[in-house]
Amino acid sequence: MSAIPTHVLAEISALVGNDQITTRHEDLHCYSYDGTATPHLPEAVVLPKTTKQVSGIMQLASRYAFAVTPRGAGSGMTGGVVPLRGGLVMAMTRMNRIIEVDAANQIAIVEPGVVTGDLQRAVKRHRLFYPPDPASLKYCTIGGNAAECAGGPSAVKYGVTKDYIIGLEVVLPSGEIITTGARTEKSVTGYDLTRLFIGSEGTLGIITRLTLRLLPLPPHKETFLLTSTSLQRTTEMVSEILNAHIKPCTLEYLDRTTIGVVSKFLTTPPTAETEALLIVEIDGERPVVEEQARRLQRLLAEQPEFSVRQASNDREVEEIWQARRAISPSVLTLRPNKISEDVAVPRSRIPELVSFTEHLARDLGLLILTFGHAGDGNIHVNIMLDRSNPEEADRGQQAKARLFRKALDLGGTLSGEHGIGFSKAPYLGEELNEATIALMKRIKDLFDPKHILNPGKIFPQS
């Protein structure tokens, strides 16, 4: 990969303005990492404000063949925004306008730098609802969510980011500007390029505008905290709830160790006998919610391993969510480092996956936590370790490899919502066959023949 010639930095500066590009060492540090905590320094950071600027920068990148790594807030978990080959980081955070909320047609048009939580609040004023809710929603951006196809707890009922994006404007590595999709929910004009960009982790193009579909805001919600004395029964309960025709909008699970880490956020911490928690939320029209809540209570009344508490006010709900969202940052109080994985399995196989991780922890002498989106089989597995101990780091890598193999054996996938980035790239061939990977690589070559856009991601490096 070429370095960025000095005169090109000047050209970019002229294009975007002096205050939208930096090469100061302190600034470069801020744009060198994501949730994987494996920093690589870029040569420069640019913060474009318009699609035209993005296009101009890509024309230069194409001509001089330097790497460009687009990014949002950098909250990713697989290294998607880490500028592995140096070059230019393109931070989309200043393209952060909500251009339009079309309430009559339940559509929003936004720039990629809009913070997910800000969008949710903005559409709520129109009694509308943007469901995807990654744990980082207070700072992550819609563009980053789209690039990684972010999920979140609500996915069990509402699906993930891709289910809410109906059109895109994208700048290709060549600088060409294309549009995909339509303003209507149904459109079959030509190939579905929208979905090809979503989840492509910034390797095919840079998203500069998104058309989002919205839902009517559910008028009512109830939140339940289920405390269980049996891990096995808790993971089984996930399918039992869904098969009882209860359709929760949250079905989150926390194992014993995870509970220990976040119990300080709860006014009434779980008792010592607690082996697992389930957070269950039901939303919708009030009569439906009430009917489903009764069904849940009936189902659980027959289960001696469970006790149920229904949140009686917003403060109690907020407390539960504060604890849930604090998991990722808080686990580092246990050990200095973590390998954070998000395999998904068909949900009937969750009990097997979770008991396998217990076995793995014992076998390798590691602390392993499991929690996350049980309702859609997307279990977050945190392998805790101290990277400064090479032997322990090696055991961590062994645990990760065995976890992936098990998830695939159970009919699952390497990643439910975090993406492949560089951290899972070496394992791609365990899930996809050779012909499939070869086709994906040919698509990458077609879009980005010089491999300037986010190099080193998704595909195993030779």
Pick between residue 71 and residue 347 the one whose CB is nearest to a second copy: 347
Which is nearer to a second copy, 238 or 320 (by Cβ)? Answer: 238
Work out how close the CB of 61 gets to a second copy at its nearest, in angstroms, rounded to a whole number.
Answer: 17
Cβ nearer to a second copy, comparing 48 with 421: 421
Among 1, 196, 299, 334, binds a second copy (CB under 8 A): 196
d(CA 136, CA 115): 10
Distances (CA, A) of 319 to 132, 305, 315, 322: 20, 24, 6, 5
Instruction: Give, as ranges, the residues between 240 and 259 that touch a second copy (CB under 8 A).
Output: 243, 245, 247
CB 343 within 8 A of CB 403: yes
The residue from 237, 366, 414, 452 that contacts a second copy (CB under 8 A) is: 414
Q: What torsion do the CA atoms of 104, 110, 114, 120 make, to the nearest 10 degrees?
A: 20
Confirm or reject binding of residue 42 to a second copy (CB under 8 A).
no
Near a second copy in 214-233, by CB under 8 A: 216, 219
Binding of a second copy by 111 (CB under 8 A): no
Could you tell me the strand order of the sheet in which 98-102 lies?
98-102, 107-110, 206-213, 165-171, 177-181
- Three-state secondary structure call for residue 81: coil
Is 376 a binding residue for a second copy by CB under 8 A? The answer is yes
- Binding status of residue 236 toward a second copy by CB under 8 A: no
Among positions 416-445, residues that touch a second copy (CB under 8 A) are: 416-420, 424, 428, 431-433, 435-437, 439-440, 442-443
For the record, the structure tokens of 381 come out as: 């597995």
Considering only 100, 192, 318, 394, the residue that binds a second copy (CB under 8 A) is: 192
Q: Which two tokens stand for residue 434?
A: 């050779």
Lookup result for tokens 């048009």? 109
Is residue 56 involved in binding a second copy (CB under 8 A)?
Answer: no
- CA-wise closest residue to 341 among 393, 407, 294: 407
User: Is position 14 an interface residue for a second copy (rule: CB under 8 A)?
Assistant: no
Show the site string, 266-305: x = touches a second copy by CB under 8 A, - = not: ------------------xx-xx--xx-------------
Of residues 168 through 187, those in contact with a second copy by CB under 8 A are 172, 176-180, 182-187
In Å, what is the CA distance from 385 to each residue of 1, 16, 33, 39, 391? 33, 43, 20, 18, 10
* Residue of 54, 88, 119, 204 interacting with a second copy (CB under 8 A): 204
Candidate segments 224-232, 261-269, 304-312, 412-420, binder of a second copy by CB under 8 A: 412-420
Among the listed residues 320, 233, 243, 236, the one whose alpha carbon sits nearest the alpha carbon of residue 281 = 320
By CB under 8 A, is residue 462 in contact with a second copy?
Answer: no
Minimum CB distance to a second copy smaller for 50 or for 257: 50
Planar angle of CA 80, 85, 88, nearest 5 degrees: 80
Q: Which residues contact 377 (CB under 8 A, 6 or more apart)?
A: 344, 345, 346, 347, 349, 350, 412, 416
What is the spatial distance between Cα 259 and Cα 129, in angstroms, rounded to a whole number? 30
48 binds a second copy (CB under 8 A): no
If one asks whether residue 81 binds a second copy (CB under 8 A), the answer comes out as no
Considering the rule CB under 8 A, would residue 346 count as an interface residue with a second copy?
Answer: yes
Binders of a second copy among residues 129 to 148 (CB under 8 A) are 148
Rule CB under 8 A: choose which of 15, 44, 155, 249 binds a second copy: 155
Query: Could you give the CA distance from residue 292 to residue 221 in angstroms, rounded to a whole number?
Result: 11
For position 112 contacting a second copy by CB under 8 A, the verdict is no
Smallest gap from Cβ 337 to a second copy, in A, equals: 24
Out of 250, 382, 415, 454, name the contact with a second copy by CB under 8 A: 415
402 CB contacts (<8 Å, ≥6 apart)? 360
Q: Is 238 in the site for a second copy (CB under 8 A)?
A: no
- CB nearer to a second copy: give 270 or 424: 424
What is the Cα–Cα distance from 60 to 58, expressed in whole angstroms? 5
Interface with a second copy: number of residues (CB under 8 A)? 83
How many CB atoms within 10 Å of residue 461? 10
